[in-house]
Amino acid sequence: MSGNTFKYTNYTKEEIKEYLDIVKNSIRKGNFTICTTEKNEKNRNFIAKYKLDSNKQKQMLIELEVNDFCYTADNYNNPEEMLYIFCREYELNNWGKIEIVKVYIKIAIKKENFVVIVSFHKPEKNIEKLFL
């Protein structure tokens, strides 16, 4: 992965709603995964810190709304695929203390509408939503 990622923002609310409908339907059917391999340490650490079981993870993803959309970016691992980036605030439990936490969520839809959550953690830099 070299160079800067180009951010695409030429979307309408309707286009993002259609995308989210596919994502949410797939998630409701259990047709999704959150990457937690060795390469995805940030996701694993975030899930562990806030003790997010699979039901809570699913609930958080289903709560995504059009106004949480930020931009899309090229997928360097699959040039034919776009990654959709969302950011949403959630109330999460950090060992008994409720915190308002921004969560950076990067999504790819694979064949047969299988949803892969590539990123699921706090944003590393400031991120702006497209629709304010």
Helix axes 13-28, 54-62, angle to 10 degrees: 160
Looking at residue 4, what is its pLDDT? 57
Residue ranges making up the domain that contains 102:
12-121
User: What whole-number distance in Å separates Cα of residue 100 and Cα of residue 89?
Assistant: 6
Written as tens digits, the pLDDT of the chain (132 aa) is 444 568 899 999 999 999 999 999 999 999 999 998 888 899 999 999 999 999 999 999 999 999 999 999 998 888 888 999 999 999 999 989 999 999 999 999 998 899 999 999 999 999 999 997
Q: Is residue 39 part of a domain?
A: yes
Q: Is residue 131 part of a domain?
A: no
User: What whole-number distance in Å separates Cα of residue 6 and Cα of residue 74?
Assistant: 7
pLDDT digits (tens, 9 = 90+) for 1-29: 444 568 899 999 999 999 999 999 999 99
Q: Which of 131, 83, 113, 89 lies closest to 23, judged by CA?
A: 113
Q: Is residue 59 part of a domain?
A: yes
Q: Is residue 76 part of a domain?
A: yes
Torsion angles phi and psi, residue 37, rounded to 5:
-70, 180
CATH of the domain at 52: 3.30.2310.40
